[in-house]
Structure 1
Amino acid sequence: MTGHGFIVGAARSGSGKTSVAIGLMRAFRRRGVQVRGAKSGPDYIDPGFHAAATGQPGVNLDTWAMSPALLASLARQAAEQAELTIVESAMGLFDGIRAEPGRSGAAADLARLFGLPVLLVLDVSGQSQTAAAIAKGFAAFDPDVRIAGVVLNQVASERHDRLAREAIEEIGIPVVGSIRRNPDMALPERHLGLVQASEHGAIDAFIERLADTMEQSIDLDAVRQLAGPLEPAGGDETPILDPPAQRIALAQDAAFSFVYPHVIAHWRAAGAEIVPFSPLADEGPDESCGVCWLPGGYPELHAGRLAACENFRHAMRRFAQTRPVHGECGGFMMLGETLEDADGECHTMLGLLGHSTSFAKRKMNLGYRQARLRVDCAIGKAGDTIRGHEFHYARLIDPGSDEPLADIADGAGNAIGPSGARRGHVTGTFFHAIAKG
């Protein structure tokens, strides 16, 4: 199969690119096209929507956290499994961090690396011909990033459409679609971004409505024609996180769900078996497993219910006596002594680590992270550097007295200090691991 692809980009978050990308994925799937979704940057929610829209697993392509070889491997897999790969940009098309060339985390890096054209979504509310100046700026900003077409979003009327469209096409950029203002296209959000696809009521019907809108508003034939070949050369999967055991107990429900698709896929390809369990259903990890993984999620929204799950609590404590347990972000919060919810009510957590966290006294923490591990644990060996990110509003209100798990630096390599905690077989951190450094 010869795969093709393009990037759905925009000037900023909130421009409508997620709705456009998801709608296009389903619209092409309706036409019988084998389509896959990909997300630039460290996003663990949008790939779930991509999977729901396409019927195939989503994937992250993160130029900062992943080596060029790993990126090529993941992109090649997508191209081999689909006729069309639609890559959704995080934030603005050129938004990333200052880093070595091609490793900023911006979707524009992927455009350069793989030669993928960009379908630019422009929110034209409050403007008309000025949209052409914005489009021209995108086209001229980097000669190695090709703006192949524009979709106008939030169009108010036929006149509004005509003024913006004619101005953009006069500078030589085709406008392939025009989407009228429609509040029904908005995806529900919460403090870490979109509500997860698994929690969205009637998700398939919602995606069908998005596809209806794209079919009515966008020239799908023109979009298909602007897609470029996706033919990554080389690639090596070794920089992905190694499976921490042959059988991995993975917490998986509305409270714990933030796991990167490429990590799970790699573990399975390496022969590991994933054994899910639900803390919210008062289930514990399967005793046949060699490690227990509590991923990120929303324990702060379910703290009272989790605190009442006695079977889960006892099973976790029993498991941790003899085998590794690791928690990321929300999982790290669950491993601590207490969690204070948004209303200021304090709930007892597992107590396998000594810290306490609060969502009432919240502060956003966001950014790439490099973690140098101090000890062997589920995400690597002592001395390994793991690349990933933090994104959370909860904060430590009592750090506890456990030994730190890792020394953390930001994306530019500036030291932040010790982070996470370890006690016996138990480790945890607010840091989400993506790949080996």
Structure 2
Amino acid sequence: MSDPFPQGYPPGLMISAPASGTGKTTVMLGLLRALAEDGLKVQPYKSGPDYIDPAFHFAAAKRPSFNLDTWAMDATLLAAIAGQASGAEICIGEGSMGLFDGVATRGQSGFGSSAETAKRMGWPVVLVIDVGGQAQSAAATALGFKSYDPEVPFAGVILNRVASPRHERLTRLGMERAGVKVLGALPRRGDLALPERHLGLIQAVEHPDLEAANQGYGTFLRDHVDLEAIKAAAMGTVGTAGTAPQALPKPPAQRIALARDAAFSFTYPHLLTGWRAAGAEILPFSPLADEAPASDADLVWLPGGYPELHGATLASAETFRRGLRKHAETRPVHGECGGYMALGEALIDKEGTRHQMAGLLGLVTSYEKRKFHLGYRRAVLQAQMPGFGAGAALRGHEFHYSTILDEPDAPLAQVMDADGNPVPETGSIKGHVTGTFFHLITGEKAESKASEEASAA
């Protein structure tokens, strides 16, 4: 297969770690802000399907962040998304989980690990290691990650949660002995943690003072990391400007009314970029502000988010619900995850309070009876949904804690996890209304003809 990433685009780095919870997001945000303050045009990326982190990246770098996902995306789409770095001077990617963590069954172009993304882009890895409770022994961890896959370029490590100058000196001695370059050492500081809830970080729009936090992260990184060494370590190239717009996902309609507020905020950035690049108009509206979707929209799209935190507000949003129902009489409405729940009959919050939703589908979900749903999804549509015809195969990701109490409508798709095992959350269709629990990442190329026919219809 020809290399879809020719020379000529900005070099980059992958910020990764041995495991989740080691501080890589704090390092990522601080590095984005510090480099931007130095006058560099920094292009952020997120490896994997996480849809919360890119909004934090955007706030730190002042440039939209995009997901790169080797399980869900083929090489052409990866190249198109990577090509969004046109005009940037350096790319910084943030990994998911541990560096080599992925799924067991190969997807469209890989297993979904951050190491695959780094290798494909040619980005050297900066490994953030939590050295709490150890000193020289941390070098064994670093050496193992450096040598596990020799094809993954390795720049060095940033030591995190260093307890004292003596602790730092001993840890650096171990790294020197192992031949691992130390790019920085961050003292232990409890005030740098980002607020979290049950799905990980809170949304960027909910942070009480994200700008001040990013300034603090930037100063912290500048004080304790060798920024010049970081910039010098960047390598690799990404994308081609010529393929960027054309290979991105096509819009499911011309005029798309998109719910956009604290309850509905999770849409993958490459989707919206692709829709706009193809000429679609995005018409934002806020259900929480009781706004109706544009009356002349061709499609209403309710993304995922946290409707369970706003059940009473949504239940009383009569203008929103009336406009939604009017639209659904003749034109398509689609919801994913939180948006799907909002299209249902009712949503029960964690206190057990039942809130009336739009009632366009019969779905009833509960957060009182929590059940964890996490993982990649491959769905083969049994009926048409906006942008895709029956039989089309879609790739997406599911992440929520709700339990289905009732899902009486016709199933929308046959849904499987990354290994091909059936998933009971199949989505629903009723009239012009469809919904899925997974967040759409892309359709598979083999089904592009069916997708194009559906879009034209």
Q: For the superposition of Structure 1 and Structure 2, which TM-score range results when normalised by the shorter chain?
A: over 0.9
**1:412, CA displacement in angstroms?**
2.0
SS in 1 for 2:284: strand
Residue 168 (structure 2) pairs with residue 161 (structure 1): yes
* 1:253 equivalent in structure 2: 261
Counterpart residue identity of residue 213, structure 2: F
The alpha-carbon distance between structure 1 residues 303 and 209, as it changes in their structure 2 partners (threshold 3 A), is same
Structure 2 gap ranges (5+): 1-7, 445-457
SS in 2 for 1:103: coil
Structure with the bigger percentage of strand: 1
Contact 1:336 1:351 in 2 (8 A): yes
Residue 187 (structure 2) pairs with residue 185 (structure 1): no
**1:237, CA displacement in angstroms?**
6.0
Q: Distance in 1 between matches of 2:246 and 2:394?
A: 13
* 2:451 equivalent in structure 1: none
Q: Please, which moves more after superposition, 225-234 or 39-48? A: 225-234
The alpha-carbon distance between structure 1 residues 235 and 282, as it changes in their structure 2 partners (threshold 3 A), is same
Residue 14 (structure 2) pairs with residue 7 (structure 1): yes
Q: Please, which moves more after superposition, 117-126 or 373-382? A: 373-382
Partner of residue 99 from structure 1, selected from 105, 108, 112 = 105
Q: Distance in 2 between matches of 1:304 and 1:81?
A: 45
Partner of residue 226 from structure 2, selected from 207, 219, 233 = 219
Counterpart residue identity of residue 82, structure 1: A
Q: Please, which moves more after superposition, 376-385 or 292-301? A: 376-385
Q: Distance in 2 between matches of 1:76 and 1:4?
A: 12
* 1:364 equivalent in structure 2: 372
Deviations 1:241-266 (A, max 9, x none): 42111110000000000011000000
Q: Distance in 2 between matches of 1:173 and 1:65?
A: 33
Contact 1:387 1:435 in 2 (8 A): yes
Residue 320 (structure 2) pairs with residue 312 (structure 1): yes
SS in 2 for 1:377: coil
Q: Distance in 2 between matches of 1:139 and 1:312?
A: 53
TM-score normalised by length of structure 1: 0.97
Partner of residue 66 from structure 1, selected from 55, 59, 73 = 73
**1:193, CA displacement in angstroms?**
1.4
Partner of residue 292 from structure 1, selected from 300, 323, 331 = 300
* 1:175 equivalent in structure 2: 182
Q: Distance in 2 between matches of 1:417 and 1:363?
A: 13
Partner of residue 405 from structure 1, selected from 400, 409, 412 = 412
After superposing on structure 2, the runs of 4+ consecutive aligned residues of structure 1 that deviate more than 3 Å are 231-241
Counterpart residue identity of residue 389, structure 2: K
Aligned-residue identity in percent: 52
Deviations 1:69-100 (A, max 9, x none): 1101211221x231111000011111110233
**1:114, CA displacement in angstroms?**
1.9
Q: Distance in 2 between matches of 1:267 and 1:298?
A: 24
Contact 2:140 2:178 in 1 (8 A): no
Q: How does 1:38-437 map to 2 (within 5 A)?
A: 38-78=45-85, 80-100=86-106, 103-232=110-239, 240-400=248-408, 402-416=409-423, 419-437=426-444
Q: Distance in 2 between matches of 1:152 and 1:167?
A: 12
The alpha-carbon distance between structure 1 residues 373 and 241, as it changes in their structure 2 partners (threshold 3 A), is farther
Counterpart residue identity of residue 22, structure 2: S
Q: Distance in 2 between matches of 1:274 and 1:381?
A: 22
TM-score normalised by length of structure 2: 0.93
Q: Distance in 2 between matches of 1:232 and 1:286?
A: 36
Counterpart residue identity of residue 53, structure 1: A
* Count of aligned residue pairs for this structure pair: 435
Q: Distance in 1 between matches of 2:119 and 2:369?
A: 42
**1:239, CA displacement in angstroms?**
6.1
**1:236, CA displacement in angstroms?**
6.8
SS in 1 for 2:169: helix
Contact 1:36 1:50 in 2 (8 A): no
Counterpart residue identity of residue 191, structure 1: H
Q: Distance in 2 between matches of 1:169 and 1:304?
A: 58
Q: Distance in 2 between matches of 1:299 and 1:418?
A: 18
